[in-house]
Structure 1
Amino acid sequence: MAETFTAPQHRTERTEPDLDLSKAEWRSGSHGVGDVQIAFVEGFIAMRNGASPGGPSVVFSPAEWRAFVRNAREGEFDLT
């Protein structure tokens, strides 16, 4: 009988808080179409596509936001 191998889970499941973003004050770095917009809501940071404001938003904890900004500044997300 062969043994089955289950790969270890390295990724932690993440659940976003259930926030009401309908009254969020969205901010943008510029006023161009397609800008990324952010809002500070109940201690979290929400981010969305300004060209599609009715679309989904990504919600970051303060620690996740700091890591995201730090990595962006260091060029981790630059297109090559």
Structure 2
Amino acid sequence: MNDTLQWFKSSYSDSGGGNCVEVATAAHAVHLRDSKQSDGPTFTVEPVAWTAFIAWQS
């Protein structure tokens, strides 16, 4: 994983310490991970897929 990614907690995350997702954007990818496991696995999608997901959730 690219160590230069700037991770931030998603505004869609649970504020109660439960389900927390961190997101990092790059030119051609959006990376996602569990904030409780920052050294754990990540999930990567194309920006168009992330945009569609966010629009669907709104």
User: Does the alignment reach a TM-score above 0.5?
Assistant: yes
Q: Which residue identity is paired with 2:36? A: A
1:58 aligns with 2:43: yes
CA distance in 2, matches of 1:40, 1:24: 7
Give 5+ residue unaligned stretches, structure 1: 1-19, 74-80
Q: Which residue identity is paired with 2:31? A: A
Identity of aligned residues (%): 22
CA RMSD for the aligned pairs?
A: 2.1
The CA deviation at 1:32 is 6.2
State the structure with bigger RCO (CA 8 A, min sep 6), 1 or 2: 2
TM-score (structure 2 length as normaliser): 0.71
Residue number in structure 1 paired with 2:2: 21
Higher Rg of the two aligned structures: 1
